[in-house]
Every structure is written in structure tokens, then in C-alpha cells.
Amino acid sequence: MNPATAAAQAGPRIGGLTPFTSIDYPGRLSAVVYVQGCPWRCVYCHNQHLQARAAPAGPAWPQVRAWLARRRGLLDAVVFSGGEPTLDAALPRALDEVRAVGFAAGLHSAGMYPRRLRAVLPHADWVGLDVKAPLDDEALHERITGVSGAASSVRQSLCALIDSGVSHELRTTAHPDLLDDAALLRLAGGLAQQGVRNYALQLARPVEGSGRWAHDYPKPATLARMQGLFAGFTLRAG
């Protein structure tokens, strides 16, 4: 057996598991499998323990797969999140395996690997794609993610996702120090122009101990204008 086939059979490198959630795949009760590894370093990342690909991994995929098989009838879907799941060559096979058990196959991605995302889309039933800044703002993408070229990758990933016809949601983490109201409106306007219909704004959690954001963010008028751009608009507290 060649190494790539062996790796695919071993399954994705898993950093953790959420056994039950109602918020990670819209309208479905799901389990979330966190794939270990992400090359970006977003300033507000709450999954820093998943960034290093070589970090000690969680349960092995065969164990998780067996556990999922026992959850038939209790869950609707399995979502692969991260980290960045598309960096793992075993992802397409794992998506197929959860479908074969009868679950919908969901995927969270930050869109950093457009070609890999395009290849994996036929294996997914729903995708949540992160967009971290206005699509045309390479400098702000770099400030948030810590890498250059991020905006270009996300634009290509968005095109692949829209072309695929796979059900999806675009999502943005809103942080007042990184995305002011004008930037949020530019971001949302750019997505609407691309034909995005479902969008979620996720308010970043305030720094530990600081309580809620001290100011009015985003402004109600900004939220109302954003809402008007999409058929489906969701606001999530951090």
C-alpha cells in the first residue's frame, strides 16, 4: 500500500471532539471532529491548541468512527472543523465514511487551500466558509491571519464553493479592533455581490475578564444593512 493510501485509511489527525452541538451545522444536531493543524495565526484564534500539526493528537479516527456509528439516530450530521481540515489528505475519505453511516457531512474551512477545497467539495453536504475581512483587502487579511496572500486564497475558495452548488454559509468573526462598521459593510457588500445568500456574523469574545465590548458594536444600523443583503443572516454572540 502506498503511503498516501495508508494515511487516508488511518484517517485525519484529530485534535478533539464535540459530541453534541446544535450550532455548528445549521438546523442539524451534529458532532464536531476537530482536525489538528492550521498554518494561519489569527489574532483572535480560540483554537490555538489546534494550530501545530505535530501537537499531541486526540483520539484516533477509527475510534471516533466507531463511536459515531453508535450515535446513529441521535445525531444528524458530523462536521469536520479545525484547525484547517482541508490540510489533511484523509479528509475526503472521512467525509465519505460519515455519509456511509447515514450522517450529513459538514465542513468548516478558512479557505486557505482553494484547490484542496475544490477537490473535497463533492464529498461534503454543507460548508461553513470563514471570511475574515473584505475580500479585496489583502492588508487587513494579513493583519488578522499573520500570512500574506490570504485574501486571494479566500476569493478562490469562495468561487469554488459557489461553483460547486454545495449548500453553504459564509461566516465572519467580528472584532472591533480589526473590523470597524465600515469594514463590515464592505465585507458583506462584497459577499452579496458574489451571490452569497447565507451569512453569519460571529461576535468575537472579549478578552478574558474584560466583560462585554464596552461600546456599541456593531451599530444597529450596520446590522440592519447587513441583514438586508442576505436571504439568511445570523448574528451569533461569541
Question: 8, 12, 34, 40: which one contacts ligand SF4 (CB under 6 A)?
Answer: 40
d(CA 33, CA 80): 5
Q: Which is nearer to ligand SF4, 50 or 184 (CB)?
A: 50
| CB neighbour burial string for 61-83, b if at least 16 within 10 angstroms, e if fewer | beebbeebeebeeebbbbbbbbb
Q: Which is nearer to ligand SF4, 92 or 128 (CB)?
A: 128
By the rule CB under 6 A, 45 interacts with ligand SF4: yes
Contacts of 163 (CB under 8 A, 6+ apart): none
By the rule CB under 6 A, 16 interacts with ligand SF4: no
**8 A C-beta contact, residue 52 and residue 35:** no
Q: Which is nearer to ligand SF4, 75 or 179 (CB)?
A: 179
Question: 21, 47, 167, 234: which one contacts ligand SF4 (CB under 6 A)?
Answer: 47
By the rule CB under 6 A, 114 interacts with ligand SF4: no
Question: 41, 115, 219, 236: which one contacts ligand SF4 (CB under 6 A)?
Answer: 41
What are the strands of the beta sheet with 198-203, ordered from one edge? 14-21, 30-35, 77-82, 104-109, 126-130, 167-174, 198-203, 232-236
- For the chain, give the number of residues: 238
Given the rule CB under 6 A, which of 37-45, 90-98, 181-189, 204-212 is the region that contacts ligand SF4?
37-45
Given the rule CB under 6 A, which of 58-66, 82-90, 152-160, 186-194 is the region that contacts ligand SF4?
82-90
**What are 223's three cell numbers?**
446590522
CB of 58 to ligand SF4, least distance (A): 15
**8 A C-beta contact, residue 176 and residue 217:** yes
Q: Using the structure block, give the residue that is written with the C-alpha cell 487551500.
A: 113
Residues that bind ligand SF4 (CB under 6 A): 38, 40-42, 45, 47, 50-51, 82-84, 110
